[in-house]
Structure 1
Amino acid sequence: MTTHDDPVPGGRPGDAERAAALSAELAERGVHGVVLAYVDTAGIARVKAVPAGKLAAAAAWGVGMSPVFDTFLADDAIVSTDVLGSPDGDLRLYPDLGRLVVLAAQPGWAWAPVDRITQEGDRHPGCSRTALRRIVSDAARVHGITFRAAVEVEWAVGQASAPGDSFVPAALGPAYGATRLVELSDYAAELMAAFAAQGVDVDQLHPEYAAGQFEVSTGSLDPVAAADRSVLVRQTIRAVSLRHGLRASFSPAVRAEGVGNGGHVHLSAWRDRVNLHAGGDRRYAMTAEAEAFAAGVLAHLPALTAVTAPSPASYLRLRPSQWAGVFTCWGHETREAAVRVITGAPGRAGRAANLEVKPVDLAANPYLALGCLISAGLHGVASSAALPEEITGDPARLDDAEAAARGVRRLPTSLGEAVEAFRGDEELRAALGPVLADAVTAVRLGEIEAVAGLDDEQVAAAYRWRY
C-alpha cells in the first residue's frame, strides 16, 4: 500500500519497527541490498542502494542524494535553473516501506520507491513523486475525487550481442503474431513469473506492432502506486532481458522510422467508490464531471506533451496514422484519438470505464505525467469544461477547413514547440510549482541543444538505450 504521508526526520510513527521487521524478513529471504529508486526530470530512473540491515536507518533518517539530478539530461549532462543544478546542498531519500518489493529477477535485491525531502525535513519542491502525492491528496480534499491509473509499457527486445549500440530485433515474427511469442517463449514466461512473484497484476502481455516489440498492461492502482509500478515493471523487464541475453529499449523511437514505444496512460476519476466515467447521463454514460475532466485533459494536451513526450526522440514517434494520438481530439474507442473514451464490456463498465491518453511515451517521468494529466483534468472539472464533437476514424483524413471547424489541431511536432506551449500554460506550471516547472523547461531545452544538428537516425541512436 502506498504511504501518502510525507516522510519526517526520525521516521513516522511505527516506521522504525516496521523497517526492522522487514529487514529480518529480507534476511530470511536471502536479500542483501535494497534499491532506493526515483525518476528524475529527464525520465531516467536513478538509484542508491543500502544493505538490507540498514533499512531501518534509511526509513528513519533517509539516504543522502544531491539535488543536482533534478537537472540532469538523459545523457548525464547537467543544466541549471535559478535554484537547481549546482553542486551545493543535499537531500534525503526516504523509502516508502509499503511499496517495498523483493526483486524476482535480481536475486539478493529488493526495491522501494522514495520521496525526497530536504535536510531540514521539508518537502523537496523538485521531487515529482511528492508532487504527485500532493496533487492526488488535494484532489480528494478539494473535489472529493480519487483516481485509478495504469501505464502501459511497450518495449523493443534486441539482441544483446548486436555490435555497438545497434538494435537487432530478438524476434522476427509478425505483429501480434504467435510466432513472435513462440520465439521468445521462455523469456515471456519468466517475465510473467517475475511479475507474479512481485505482486504485479498483469492484465495481458503480447507482441506489438514494431520489430521485436512487446507490451504489458497491468491493473489499475492509485496514481502514486501506478507510477511506482511502471518503474518497477521496467526494472523487471531489463533484468529478465539480460538473463536471456537480450536487451530492452523503452525509447520512444528505437529506429527513426516506423512505430515507436508508447506508454499510454489509463485514468479514471472516482467519488465515494463510484466510477464517474460510468452510469452518467452524458455521452457514453459519462457523468458531467467525467466529461469535464476529459475536456480539461484535451484542452491542455499541447502543453502536456512537454511532460508526456519529453524527449527529442518522442517526436519521431508522434506521427499521424500510427495510433500515437497526435491531434487534439477525442473519440469512443478510437485509437487514433489523443483521448480515447473506453466504456468497457457490458457488466463491467462500473469498473472498467476510463480515459486512455495516447501521446505519452516511456521517456516520461510517470509521476510528472500523471500529476499533470490529473491537474489538467481537474482544471476542466473546476471550469465545467465541455467536450467538443467527437471524431471517428483517422483525424489525419480531415481537410484543413473541417479540422479547424471541429477544433482538431496537430499537437506539437517538436520538443521546442511543446516547451513553448508548456511555458504558456499557467495551470500546469502552478500545479507543479515554480521549482519543478522550471526544471522541466530547463531539462527539455537542454535535450534540444544536445541533439542540435543531428538527423532523425542519429537522434534515435542517441536515446536508444537511455530509457
Structure 2
Amino acid sequence: MPGGLPGPGTAAAGTAAPAGPVPGGRPGEVERATALSGELSGQGVHGVVLAYVDTAGIGRVKTVPTAKLASAAAWGVGMSPVFDTFLANDAVVTTDVLGSPDGDLRLYPDLDRLAVLAAQPGWAWAPVDRITQEGEPHPACGRTVLRRIVARAAERHGVTFKAAIEIEWILGRDDAPEGAFVPAVSGPAYGATRQVELSDCAAELLASLAAQGVDVDQFHPEYAPGQFEVSVGALDPVGAADRSVLVRQTIRAVARRHGMRVSFAPAVLGQGVGNGGHLHLSAWRDGRNLHAGGGRRYGMTAGAESFVAGVLGRLPALTAVTAPSPASRLRLRPSQWAGVFTAWGRETREAALRIVTGTAGVRDRAANLEVKPVDLAANPYLALASVIAAGLDGLASAASLPAEITGDPARFDADEAAARGVRRLPVSLAESVEAFRADDVLRSALGPVLADAVTAVRRGEIEAVDGLDDDQVAAAYRWKY
C-alpha cells in the first residue's frame, strides 16, 4: 500500500480475522485511526467508503470525511437495520424483528482492511462490522456471523481456512439505451481479440488491484459475450469476503473510467452462460492442508473427505444462500459448467463440487475444494459462513463421501442418477428456500434473526418477478449487482 497503509492483501492467508468492534474502540484503535486519517489526508484522500453487503447481495455503503475516521472507529456511523430486509429493487419485506423503520445500528470500519482506492482518486475503502447502540453484535451482520463460525471451527476442531472467490463479470457499453445490454467488446471466448480490445482498461484494473494490496492469480476473457474473470489470492474467510467486495468496487470504477458499465448479475440475458462466483476453500490443521497428502482419494485426508461430504449433502439448502436471486436459476442450467447436480469429482467442471488437487509439486499448498453453484448475487460472508458450517457438520459426524462422478451428470437417466445419489439442485428459488427452512444446521449457523431474513428476502424476490419470463427476469436484475 502507498504510504504503508494497511490493505486487504496484508493479512496472512488462513489467519483469523480480528475481534469485533466495541464502543469507544479497542485499545489503541482510536489513536491508530487518527494517525491513518492524517496519512490519508496527506495522500489526497478526502473520504472513506464504509461498505457491507445486505441479505439480498447488494453492496450498501455510507461514507465519512477522512477527518471523521477516528470518530467512526470509536463510535461507529449510524445506519438503519431495515436494510437487512431490502430486496434488490429496494422494496422492503419484514420479519418478526426486522424491516420496520425503528432502531439504529453502528457501522465500525475494520482498519486492518482499509485500502486507498486506486481507481477512485480521493477515496479510501473499508469493510464494516455492525453492532447495536448497546454495543452488542448485530445478529444479521453477515461479517460477524462468518467471524464467529471461523472462530468456533478453530476452537472446536482445530481447523482454520483459506478461501478465495472467483469473480466473473460482463462489460456493457455505457452509451447503450437505458437498461439495455450491448457488449463492450467482441471476440470469441478466451480469445486474444477480446483481450486486446480491453487492453488499456485491463491494464489499469491490474495496476489498481496491485496498488490496493490484492494479489491477482489470473485474468482472462470468459465464455459469454463481453465476459471476463479474475482470480485472486486466498485469505482467511473474512478477508476473502472483504476482498471480493473490494475487487468488485474496483472493477466498477475502472470500467466507468473507460466508458463501460459492469454486470455481476448471475444472468445478463435470459439465455446463455451467466456470471459465476465460484468459491474455493481449503481446511488446515497445525499448518497442514487437509486436502493434500492424505491417504484418501486424490490425497485428501479423512477430515477433508468428511468436510466435502458435509457440503455435498447440504447443497440444495445452500443454494438459498449461494444462488439467491431469481436470476440465479437462469445460470443454473445443465451442461453449462454451473454445477447443478449433487456430485463431486476431480477437475470435473460439471460437478457441483470440484476437487482441485493442483499441480504436482505445489499440492500441499494448492489443493482445495471448489463450490460451483455460487454466483455474485450472494452475500459473500453468508455464502462462506454457510458452506463452512455445512462442511464442519460433515467433519464432526465423520460423514462419508460417495463415489466420484466423471463427465456430465446430465447424461444419467433417472434410475442411474438415483443409484449414484445424483440429484438436480433446486430448479426454482422457492425450492431452495424450502430446503433452507428445513435445514437446522444452516439455520442454526446463521442464527434465527439472519435465517429468517434470508427466507423473507428470498420470498420477496420471488414475488417481485412473479409472471415475468426469463428475459424479463434477467433484465430486472441486470444492473443490480
Aligned counterparts of 1:323 and 1:14: Cα–Cα separation in 2 = 49
Indicate yes or no: 2:197 matched with 1:176.
no
> After the TM superposition, which residues 1-12 of structure 1 pair with which residues of structure 2 at under 5 Å, given as runs?
1=11, 3-12=17-26
Aligned equivalent of 2:6: none
Aligned equivalent of 2:266: 252
Deviation track 1:356-411 (CA, whole Å, cap 9, x = no partner) reads 00000000000000000000000000110011100000000011111000000000
Indicate yes or no: 2:83 matched with 1:64.
no
Aligned equivalent of 2:385: 371
Q: 1:25 aligns with which of 39, 64, 80?
A: 39
TM-score normalized with structure 1 length: 1.00
On the 8 A contact 1:3/1:98 being kept in 2, the answer is no
SS in 2 for 1:372: helix
SS in 2 for 1:258: coil
Instruction: Give the counterpart letter for 2:37 in structure 1.
Output: S
Aligned counterparts of 2:152 and 2:438: Cα–Cα separation in 1 = 23
SS in 2 for 1:105: coil
Aligned counterparts of 1:180 and 1:409: Cα–Cα separation in 2 = 37
Aligned equivalent of 1:298: 312
**Deviation of 1:4 (Å):** 2.1
Aligned counterparts of 1:113 and 1:434: Cα–Cα separation in 2 = 24
Indicate yes or no: 2:428 matched with 1:414.
yes
Indicate yes or no: 2:56 matched with 1:42.
yes
Aligned equivalent of 1:327: 341
Aligned equivalent of 1:84: 98
Aligned counterparts of 2:399 and 2:120: Cα–Cα separation in 1 = 47
Indicate yes or no: 2:448 matched with 1:434.
yes
SS in 2 for 1:164: coil
Aligned equivalent of 2:458: 444
Aligned counterparts of 1:306 and 1:110: Cα–Cα separation in 2 = 33
TM-score normalized with structure 2 length: 0.97
Aligned counterparts of 1:333 and 1:8: Cα–Cα separation in 2 = 44
What is the aligned length?
A: 467
Deviation track 1:205-244 (CA, whole Å, cap 9, x = no partner) reads 0000000000000000000000000000000000001000
Aligned equivalent of 2:164: 150
Unaligned 5+ runs, structure 1: none
Instruction: Give the counterpart letter for 2:163 in structure 1.
Output: A
> After the TM superposition, which residues 213-362 of structure 1 pair with which residues of structure 2 at under 5 Å, given as runs?
213-362=227-376
Instruction: Give the counterpart letter for 1:357 in structure 2.
Output: V
Instruction: Give the counterpart letter for 2:80 in structure 1.
Output: S
Aligned counterparts of 1:243 and 1:442: Cα–Cα separation in 2 = 37
SS in 2 for 1:270: strand
> After the TM superposition, which residues 90-169 of structure 1 pair with which residues of structure 2 at under 5 Å, given as runs?
90-169=104-183
Instruction: Give the counterpart letter for 2:412 in structure 1.
Output: L
On the 8 A contact 1:422/1:429 being kept in 2, the answer is yes
Aligned counterparts of 1:16 and 1:121: Cα–Cα separation in 2 = 16
Indicate yes or no: 2:205 matched with 1:191.
yes
Deviation track 1:233-263 (CA, whole Å, cap 9, x = no partner) reads 0000000010000000000000000000000
On the 8 A contact 1:329/1:391 being kept in 2, the answer is yes
On the 8 A contact 2:17/2:236 being kept in 1, the answer is no
Instruction: Give the counterpart letter for 1:343 in structure 2.
Output: T
Instruction: Give the counterpart letter for 1:370 in structure 2.
Output: L
SS in 1 for 2:52: strand
Percent identity reads 77
Computed over aligned residues only, the root mean square deviation of the Cα atoms, in angstroms, reads 0.6
On the 8 A contact 1:145/1:270 being kept in 2, the answer is yes
On the 8 A contact 2:17/2:238 being kept in 1, the answer is no
Aligned equivalent of 1:401: 415
SS in 2 for 1:337: coil
Aligned counterparts of 2:28 and 2:301: Cα–Cα separation in 1 = 41
Aligned equivalent of 1:52: 66
